Structure 1
Amino acid sequence: MDQEHIADGAEGAGRRRFLAMATGAATVAGIGAVAGCGTGGGGAPGGDASGGAGADGAPKPGGSASAPAPGAGFDVKAENARPGNADWHVTKAGPARAIEGFADRVSVLPGESFGLHVSTTAPRFTVSAYRMGWYGGARARLVWRSEALPGVRQPEHTVEPGTRMVRTRWPRTASVDTKGWPEGCYLLRLDAQGGEGQRFVPVTVRSAATAGRTVIVNAVATWQAYNRWGGYGSYDGPSGGYASRSLAVTFDRPYEYDDGAGLFLVYEAPLVALAERLGIPLAYATTTDVAREKRLLEGASAVLSLGHDEYWSPEQRAHFTAARDAGTNIAVLGANCCFRRIRLEASDLGPDRTVVCYKSSYDQDPGFKRGHPATVDFRSPPAADPESSLLGVIYDGYPVDAPYVVTNPGHWLFEGTGAKAGDSFAHLVGVEYDKVNTGFPTPRPIEILAHSPVVCEGRPSHQDSAYYTVPGGAGVFATGTMRWVEALDASGDGRSGADHGLDARAGALTTRVTENLLRAFAAGPAGRSRPARDSVKEVYGTP
């Protein structure tokens, strides 16, 4: 039994749950291992068509707000100056199957349509589309709301033999037209009649081009890998064991978690709010968009990987790397990024809707036998390609909960924070972490900004935040901790980051550093004006 099988077999189910918890159609009008630390650091560890608004500023039912046409130049400042709607949350989830659904497109261009596949025990339901952003702190704006639609209880799911992939094969319930919807990240809230239940369905209205903009990339492949709707996900099945995991998972099903938003609200929404508050030029995409479209990132100022972005296709990685080499800055605002190599395949509903990842069983993968790359960890053979060559840092283990320790307070990223050398911020390192490890391919020069001691299942190590630059001018920054985006909301008032004991100090630090980062990266290739100074020897005592 190989090292990965041992690690995931012992901890796959616990890891998935731990990370997740931290975390006939009607046409609608207008519409190495993820191992515990014991393996060691270097191992494979209906309204009017005009979209008018009512007296409260919200769109009339069936209407949609006006927005620039694709390619016309989305104005994030103007969008966020519009009134927000603070009542967007799921507050009455109801029973597990009261209402739930999914979209048959992960992303669409503005003006394109997509299908909703909804199952509910209620006789009727409505759909409300909220664009997520800043909006003066409301965090969302109601862009469109449907009329009441007939509800239906959809057929039970099936499980594919061999891959143990959950399939729904639900008929389309409604078709949604996004005409007039601005680019951005959306949560569609399903409301069952009579208050019987609510759930979200996430959809990205993606940008047609990204030149001159900072690209927010929703990590949808990772959301789906951790989705256990129907009893199976990429880590385990009903038995809770690694051997019963799905070898492929599909977007043709709802998200398991109570609100139906996947991992978006925990690991991505705080960053979206901050970036939109700053008013920098933004573009929006998903990991599947980046993988599919070779030129999507062409000319982008920066591209952002958010809090939990573990599952990447080789195509996605190649396109990120090409963008970096052409001068596009990259920010990795999480940890355990670009760890699992996946393959995207079609489902019954369209292309790129199946995430294939056999992990340690890659030799059983029919795709591998046909010559596709092995869907195993990037750092593992065959054709090992450690993620550090792109990120600068490499995944080192889990679970940890440790203070974040500043070691280079003079760095431009810490400007305005007031941080001093040795300052620590409780609980900011966790639950997974990365470090600089020159035993793997590591771009140089690379500058270590925070070097935080951790003890993970008895093994002493360190977490690093690091910044490197390349000859083409791009800068690459990696936080080295999965809690960075969550911490943006940490204020001690009970919001998401506070669940880990994160406090207002951690919130202030991560917010200011992220502001510095986003502003600098939006200005163009950061390495030209802010070259990295190699500090590996200074920090680790070795070249």
Structure 2
Amino acid sequence: MASTFAARRFAAVAVVFLLLLSACSANRSPSTGPGSSTGTTPSSPSGPWTVAENAKPGTSDWRIPDNQLSTDAQLCGYADRSSVLPGENFGLYVTSTLGDVTVAAYRVGSYGGAGGRLVWQSQAFPGVKQPDPVIEADHMVVAKWAKSLDVPTADWPEGSYLLKLTASGKSRYVPITVRSRSTAGKLVLVEAVTTDQAYNTWGGYSLYTGPNNTRAARVSFDRPQKGNGAQQFFGDRLAPTQLAESLGLDLAYVTSVDLDREPDLLAGASGLVSMGHDEYWTVGMRRSVEKARDTGTSLAFLGANAVYWRIRLKDGLTGDRRVVVEYRDAGADPKHDAVDTTVKFRSRPMPDPENSLTGMLYECFPAYGAMVVQDPTFPLFAGTGVKKGDRIPGVVGIEIDRAYPIPGTPASLTVVAHSPVTCGTSKQTFSDMTYYNAGTSGVWATGSMMWVKVLNGPNAKYGITDASVSFVKRVTTNAFVQMAKGNGQGGLSTTPNLAQLGASTSTATGTGGPVEK
């Protein structure tokens, strides 16, 4: 187990590293404004490319006040790609009953606290009311619209982007990722776009809901997203993205679809961050990440319920991998006896529980509580001052994971937080935070969906205090800095302790379902 001295030493190294990066940032001159970036993002001798990028002038204009948010009927849209390489065009499909539309593209980052940078603006174009969506087989909603605009990205650096559509004072978002050509030597932030679509109810159906107690078994990317147009991004990925950008690390950006499309996309990556709700995975996505872990890429799962549902991706209206398939029932799935039959990863016909990757199993919804420290010497807790038994309010919930002593759980697993909670109304269980060493890499999982919510700041409704925010930001910062080291230095030394906690092998305390054989 790491000593107190080792923890203090780790904290000192991290602080010095961040101070050096801040100094580099302060010496960079800002750009002249939108369109001034090159679209390529090499690191320079003076530091990672994100340092110079985030020294450019930012703006808060990317935000949409609640009273300016459009309804679905007024204004919304979607892109025909979930990601593009720098310089590639993508199509934008917009419906508007408010007249002419303009589009502004903002790159998400730190930018001195502004949170975004304007990189491109369109000229106004005529707004038209597009046809009603089509409901296809399996209740799949598709917006078969005419293309409104081809959007160029020649001057866009890689990163997460919010397109802000505006017409007659009302606005709506369309998210897009400019993905990295290479992830080698970089900390990779993953946009969980397949999970976004699973929960997207635009047009009346999602993988969860529909009229008269129905649900879709297939959902399409070719439709707008409900709410502000990027609700999952705001809830799960905005805060960790802005934090990572503020640290001056060498970052790369990909989507979950990219991980399925390109099996070797993570070759040489220093680390990979699953930023929040990352529930829906293809077998190809999982194999890509497992291969990366086994060849030196450290992993962080900042949420819970990751790698739970096994999906397939199919071609759609505007291209390849534009449809998410999830029958949830092997008997209903036309591919009812295959490695990619769309059931839980822990279920038959070919069980492959998520614990062999994340370290834990999905345990429960709903559950809330304080995080209870089990191992205060965990290196990522450096600088927090926590002691065993300390309670960090508001950090656990609303979905949680738990470590189980079952086949697939890594032998090196260390439970660093072990938090008693009530699952639902009566079941007593635990939310765990874990870490395991995978040779030259390591895998850290928070086990709580609230972790990224805490990064957004104090919230009395959930009991999130200033101290909670400080703790979560410090631990996440330590993790990002450690993972970014790469070159076989991403792993940490911890002492396995799952057996000491007396955990049962039964999953009956939760709502995640049994592990089938």
Aligned mates of 1:221, 1:399 — CA distance in 2: 22
Aligned to 2:106, what secondary structure does the other structure show?
Answer: strand
1:338 is aligned to: 307
Aligned mates of 1:501, 1:200 — CA distance in 2: 30
Deviations 1:450-502 (A, max 9, x none): 0000111211111110000123x11000000001111112235xxxxx65331
Pairwise mapping of residues 215-234 of structure 1 onto structure 2 (< 5 A)? Answer: 215-234=188-207
2:464 is aligned to: 502
Q: 1:120 aligns with which of 82, 93, 96?
A: 96
2:224 is aligned to: 254
Pairwise mapping of residues 103-182 of structure 1 onto structure 2 (< 5 A)? Answer: 103-161=79-137, 163-182=138-157
Aligned mates of 1:89, 1:56 — CA distance in 2: 21
Does the Cα contact within 8 Å between 1:329 and 1:525 map onto a contact in 2?
no
Deviations 1:110-167 (A, max 9, x none): 0000000000002201000000011111111111111111100000011113x10001
Code of the aligned partner of 1:509: F
Compute the displacement of 1:58 (Å): 4.1
Compute the displacement of 1:532 (Å): 2.8
Aligned mates of 2:360, 2:220 — CA distance in 1: 30
For the pair 1:425 / 2:387, whether they are aligned, the reply is: no
Q: Which shifted more, 419-428 or 204-213?
A: 419-428
Deviations 1:304-329 (A, max 9, x none): 11110000000000000000000100
Code of the aligned partner of 2:499: K
Aligned mates of 1:337, 1:528 — CA distance in 2: 21
2:78 is aligned to: 102
Code of the aligned partner of 1:253: R
Aligned mates of 1:95, 1:210 — CA distance in 2: 38
Does the Cα contact within 8 Å between 1:134 and 1:276 map onto a contact in 2?
yes
Aligned to 2:471, what secondary structure does the other structure show?
Answer: helix
For the pair 1:322 / 2:297, whether they are aligned, the reply is: no
1:190 is aligned to: 165
1:22 is aligned to: none
Code of the aligned partner of 1:165: M
Aligned to 1:191, what secondary structure does the other structure show?
Answer: strand
Does the Cα contact within 8 Å between 1:221 and 1:355 map onto a contact in 2?
yes
- Name the CA shift for 1:513/1:236 in 2 (closer, same or farther; >3 Å): same
Aligned mates of 2:100, 2:164 — CA distance in 1: 14
Code of the aligned partner of 2:38: A
Code of the aligned partner of 1:266: G
- Name the CA shift for 1:324/1:481 in 2 (closer, same or farther; >3 Å): same
Code of the aligned partner of 2:462: H
Which ranges of structure 1 fall in alignment gaps of 5 or more residues? 1-54, 493-497
Report the TM-score, using the length of structure 1 for normalisation: 0.84
Pairwise mapping of residues 253-332 of structure 1 onto structure 2 (< 5 A)? Answer: 253-257=223-227, 259-332=228-301
Code of the aligned partner of 1:400: A
- Name the CA shift for 1:504/1:418 in 2 (closer, same or farther; >3 Å): same
Q: Aligned residues: percent identity?
A: 43
Q: Which shifted more, 218-227 or 412-421?
A: 412-421
Does the Cα contact within 8 Å between 2:405 and 2:503 map onto a contact in 1?
no
For the pair 1:90 / 2:47, whether they are aligned, the reply is: no
Compute the displacement of 1:439 (Å): 2.5
Which ranges of structure 2 fall in alignment gaps of 5 or more residues? 1-29, 506-517
Aligned to 1:263, what secondary structure does the other structure show?
Answer: helix
Code of the aligned partner of 1:88: W
Does the Cα contact within 8 Å between 2:31 and 2:56 map onto a contact in 1?
no
Does the Cα contact within 8 Å between 2:404 and 2:504 map onto a contact in 1?
no
Aligned mates of 1:184, 1:102 — CA distance in 2: 18
Aligned mates of 1:57, 1:149 — CA distance in 2: 26
Aligned mates of 1:417, 1:282 — CA distance in 2: 25
1:366 is aligned to: 334
Aligned to 1:363, what secondary structure does the other structure show?
Answer: coil
1:245 is aligned to: 215
Compute the displacement of 1:367 (Å): 4.0
Does the Cα contact within 8 Å between 1:280 and 1:522 map onto a contact in 2?
yes
Aligned mates of 2:316, 2:493 — CA distance in 1: 45
Code of the aligned partner of 2:177: T
Aligned residues: 470
Does the Cα contact within 8 Å between 1:475 and 1:527 map onto a contact in 2?
no
2:502 is aligned to: 540
RMSD between superposed Cα atoms in Å: 1.9
- Name the CA shift for 1:505/1:247 in 2 (closer, same or farther; >3 Å): same
Q: 2:49 aligns with which of 68, 72, 75?
A: 75
Aligned mates of 2:497, 2:489 — CA distance in 1: 16
Compute the displacement of 1:82 (Å): 0.8
1:470 is aligned to: 438
Q: Which shifted more, 85-94 or 532-541?
A: 532-541
2:185 is aligned to: 212
1:435 is aligned to: 402
- Name the CA shift for 1:57/1:529 in 2 (closer, same or farther; >3 Å): closer
Aligned mates of 1:462, 1:395 — CA distance in 2: 11
Aligned mates of 1:286, 1:542 — CA distance in 2: 36
Compute the displacement of 1:397 (Å): 1.1
Compute the displacement of 1:87 (Å): 1.8
Does the Cα contact within 8 Å between 1:406 and 1:451 map onto a contact in 2?
yes
Aligned mates of 1:142, 1:116 — CA distance in 2: 18
2:325 is aligned to: 356
Q: Which shifted more, 314-323 or 440-449?
A: 440-449
- Name the CA shift for 1:172/1:367 in 2 (closer, same or farther; >3 Å): farther
1:479 is aligned to: 446
Does the Cα contact within 8 Å between 1:465 and 1:479 map onto a contact in 2?
yes
Does the Cα contact within 8 Å between 1:71 and 1:208 map onto a contact in 2?
no
For the pair 1:386 / 2:348, whether they are aligned, the reply is: no
Deviations 1:83-132 (A, max 9, x none): 11112111201333110000001000000000000000022010000000
- Name the CA shift for 1:266/1:109 in 2 (closer, same or farther; >3 Å): same
Code of the aligned partner of 2:273: L
Q: 2:37 aligns with which of 62, 66, 71?
A: 66
